[in-house]
Structure 1
Amino acid sequence: MTVLAPRHARPRLLCLSLALALTPLAHAQDAADAFKLKLGYTGEAASMIDGGRKNGDAYAGQLMVGTDVDMDRLFGWGGATVKLYVTNRHGTNLANSSIGNSTSVQEIYGGQGTRLANFTLLQKLFDDRLELEAGRSVANIHFLGSDLCQYFQGNSACGNPTFVFRTSNFTYWPVSSWAAHATAWVTPKVYVHVGAYEVNPVQAQDGQHGLKWSTDDTTGVVVPYAVGYKNKGGDGSMAAMYELGGWQDNSDYTDPLRDRNGNPAVLSGLGYENKQGRSGMFARFEQQVTNPDPSAPAA
């Protein structure tokens, strides 16, 4: 026996069929949109034309591939993002080969080879007023960064202030280790930021790929913290960043000057003294001082 649907019901059945057919397509599109792919290459060349050890040239580069995964689009996990980045660093360092100084003029050099640079889960809560991130990462992409100095090539300015690496075992890109940090926005422009980062010197060695997650070689933890004010500008106001902070480092380090007897090691011939625990503080600011004339014609 054949049952025919009333004519007025057929459009409803057609609409229902289309809705059922389009639902998987919509979910597939959401899944595709959940992945924000990243690809970048940075190359830095440098030459020594006078002074130093000898004249010479050097080139260093980094290939970075990765993705930010929107867990809300993928699984309905609101406010969560997985960040996965892999780097390949290659080339030579002019500071080592020709200059003979300890501060690189090619900030992209370091952590050579192919490495897992970042694998973290970022969770935003309370209308993005609290940000929590944990996993495998580094301190210098979260603390003491600069929107202005990132465009310089030398390590004396680009990336982070050199002093923090001289006076602590501040972890650096792309040598990832266990890490966690939290940012609380007290107001839309005032924040409190604190983190904790595993210090594992083995991870920085050649041949490491960031996949050894054991803490057997850990020598301690560095804990940076900061209180700051940040105005992004763009609304006619001047962009600005003011920050006061510091760090506590309980990891092992070698005294840069003295031996175990407290004498200059370079004179005594004894090894430098092994120590543990140090700390520091900083204050910094960036302030825009001019705004474009809103009445001026666009370039």
Structure 2
Amino acid sequence: MCGVVPSGGRAQGLNTGAGGDPRTSVAQPEVSGKPSAVATTSIQSSLGIAGDPTGLRRFLSDHGIIYSFNAIADILGDTSGGTRRTATVIGRLDMQLDADLDRLAGWGGAAFRVEAYQINGAGLSRAAVSDLAVVSELEALPATRLYELWVEQQLLDNQLAIKIGQVAADTEFLVSQTATLFINSTFGWPTIAGTNLPSGGPAYPFGAPAIRVKYLPNANLSFQVGLFDGDPAGPARAWNDPDPQRRDRTGTNFRLDDPPFLIAEAAYAYNFASRGRNGALLDEPGTITVGGWHHFGRFDSLRIDNTGRSLADPASSGVARRFRGNDGLYGMIDQTVYREPDKDDEGASVFVRAVGSPGDRNLIDLYLDAGVGYRGLLPNRSDDTVGVAVSFARVSPSARGFDRDTILATGNATPRRRFEALVEATYQVVLAPGVTVQPNLQYIFHPGGNVADPRDPSGQRIRNATIVGARATLTY
């Protein structure tokens, strides 16, 4: 919340956490694949003169321009359950440039960012799991795509910040600092938002034209609101055009004519500055965040047609009832619960997050997740971070009702959707500054919410899936 650096994600310093608020979680990882994660170190520090052989990086930094590269690769395998046994490799090169326009061009209080991705390989969720909470937050169709492109202006002695351009909501909104450790995508942009919003909302791999205003009345409070184009990829133009990533392969649709998406959030950080004579924190810091969103578009009922009949009824018109708008409310807490003696950056943090949406027009109406991370758990491994997290996404009454109607209308005992849940355990090993390896284990209950397995001719549900793998990250 403090300072004049750009307020979204990795541009933050050591004292700020994911989303730009004060760093109240001691268990944040060294670096993560999430767009909102904080990268605190670079391999450059280990390379000596070879880290900047021409001096270009230092020259640009002296003039207010900082560029960085973050290479991430996931190797993941479905060892049981899902739709088939297989393994995949997916990689992403994150290219980011930040400019302090005051130092560069004399534009006081202004900053600029452009960020793009090169994505390669195949995602395991698409290939073998068919879950709603995508196994890896890297997963996207292979492409070179623009993610963010914006200018931010600081005003009122840096208390007010206005950002305009192509922006991703998941870099600042709905961000848990502790949850940035985990690999599954739901611990970044939660399943309920990615499932219910058009094109998954303005979140990885999409940014959207937007304006974001953030107000920081004091060191403890922050208020922010963002107005985004409501469909980053645009609506499907044909029945065989369902994948938004195929409708916007480069991230350059720059749509402005869709019904808007509005999201607002307030955060209160506490105990992060209360220090004793020796400089150590006196109390355990934490952050409480509440927020909500409204989408101004129209949304189809999942159960009822425009005449009031069930869509499963043979006499149905086949045209779903339409609702005006869609909403979500959320709250979360990040809380440091233990610190190693005389160390502010080692110990345990927990997070809890809850999100709700109307059950008559959404597939998911309730989402919960929680987890714990511990940095420096093992002796002589003070930079390593270990964590366990769980999530639960409940299928809405309208979707469950449609399944029941379909069984009654057809007489076929097909699976009925109920919920999807998962457990993830991970350990991030810091091998050197800017170099990490992260083994990962996930167990997914009811992939897809308990849907039929498309590869099983008998129509049995997709079995619970066990996912094992590892991530490697190199930051420069």
TM over 0.5: yes
Shift of 1:282: 1.2
2:251 to 207, 210, 214: 210
Distance in 2 of aligned mates of 1:97 and 1:272: 30
- How is 1:118-197 mapped onto 2 (pairs within 5 angstroms)? 118-157=148-187, 159-169=188-198, 170-197=201-228
Compared with structure 1, are the counterparts of its residues 258 and 149 closer, same or farther at alpha carbon in structure 2 (3 Å cutoff)?
farther
Distance in 2 of aligned mates of 1:33 and 1:262: 64
Residue number in structure 1 paired with 2:102: 72
- How is 1:82-93 mapped onto 2 (pairs within 5 angstroms)? 82-93=112-123
- Check the 8 A contact 2:259/2:297 in 1, yes or no: yes
Compared with structure 1, are the counterparts of its residues 43 and 261 closer, same or farther at alpha carbon in structure 2 (3 Å cutoff)?
farther
Distance in 1 of aligned mates of 2:60 and 2:343: 42
Distance in 2 of aligned mates of 1:90 and 1:219: 30
- Check the 8 A contact 1:80/1:121 in 2, yes or no: yes
- Check the 8 A contact 2:233/2:253 in 1, yes or no: no
Compared with structure 1, are the counterparts of its residues 38 and 277 closer, same or farther at alpha carbon in structure 2 (3 Å cutoff)?
same
- Check the 8 A contact 1:44/1:153 in 2, yes or no: no
Shift of 1:160: 2.5
AA of the residue aligned to 2:341: D
Residue number in structure 2 paired with 1:278: 326
Per-residue deviation, residues 56-101 of structure 1 (Å, max 9, x unmatched): 1122221111210110111111111001111112222212211222
Equivalent residue of 1:156, what SS?
helix
Per-residue deviation, residues 89-125 of structure 1 (Å, max 9, x unmatched): 2222212211222221011113641111111001112
2:126 to 69, 86, 96: 96
2:286 to 224, 240, 249: 240
Distance in 2 of aligned mates of 1:214 and 1:164: 20
Compared with structure 1, are the counterparts of its residues 29 and 202 closer, same or farther at alpha carbon in structure 2 (3 Å cutoff)?
closer
Shift of 1:283: 1.4
Q: Does 1:115 align with 2:145?
A: yes
2:341 to 272, 293, 299: 293
Compared with structure 1, are the counterparts of its residues 104 and 223 closer, same or farther at alpha carbon in structure 2 (3 Å cutoff)?
same
Distance in 1 of aligned mates of 2:298 and 2:62: 45
Per-residue deviation, residues 130-149 of structure 1 (Å, max 9, x unmatched): 11111011211120012111
Shift of 1:182: 1.1
Compared with structure 1, are the counterparts of its residues 232 and 212 closer, same or farther at alpha carbon in structure 2 (3 Å cutoff)?
farther
Unaligned runs of at least 5 residues, structure 1? 1-27
Equivalent residue of 1:54, what SS?
coil
AA of the residue aligned to 2:268: Y
Equivalent residue of 2:126, what SS?
helix
AA of the residue aligned to 2:211: A
- Check the 8 A contact 1:232/1:239 in 2, yes or no: yes
Compared with structure 1, are the counterparts of its residues 254 and 42 closer, same or farther at alpha carbon in structure 2 (3 Å cutoff)?
farther
AA of the residue aligned to 1:164: A
Compared with structure 1, are the counterparts of its residues 262 and 101 closer, same or farther at alpha carbon in structure 2 (3 Å cutoff)?
farther
Residue number in structure 2 paired with 1:12: none
Compared with structure 1, are the counterparts of its residues 202 and 167 closer, same or farther at alpha carbon in structure 2 (3 Å cutoff)?
closer
What is the count of residue pairs matched by the alignment? 269
Shift of 1:279: 1.0
AA of the residue aligned to 2:245: Q
Q: CA RMSD in A?
A: 2.8
Compared with structure 1, are the counterparts of its residues 119 and 271 closer, same or farther at alpha carbon in structure 2 (3 Å cutoff)?
same
Shift of 1:221: 1.0
Equivalent residue of 2:139, what SS?
coil
- Check the 8 A contact 1:258/1:265 in 2, yes or no: yes
Residue number in structure 2 paired with 1:227: 266
Compared with structure 1, are the counterparts of its residues 51 and 91 closer, same or farther at alpha carbon in structure 2 (3 Å cutoff)?
same
Distance in 1 of aligned mates of 2:308 and 2:286: 44
**Quick one: percent identity of the two aligned structures?**
19
Per-residue deviation, residues 210-257 of structure 1 (Å, max 9, x unmatched): 233353xx4311111112102483740422110111111112444444
- Check the 8 A contact 1:192/1:226 in 2, yes or no: yes
Equivalent residue of 1:165, what SS?
helix
AA of the residue aligned to 1:79: G
- Check the 8 A contact 1:30/1:73 in 2, yes or no: no
Residue number in structure 1 paired with 2:437: none
Shift of 1:264: 4.9
Residue number in structure 1 paired with 2:238: none
Q: Structure 2 length as normaliser, TM-score?
A: 0.52
Which structure has the bigger radius of gyration?
1
- Check the 8 A contact 1:229/1:241 in 2, yes or no: yes
- Check the 8 A contact 1:59/1:93 in 2, yes or no: yes
Q: Does 1:57 align with 2:87?
A: yes
Residue number in structure 2 paired with 1:43: 73
Per-residue deviation, residues 10-66 of structure 1 (Å, max 9, x unmatched): xxxxxxxxxxxxxxxxxx957853111111112222211111211111222211112
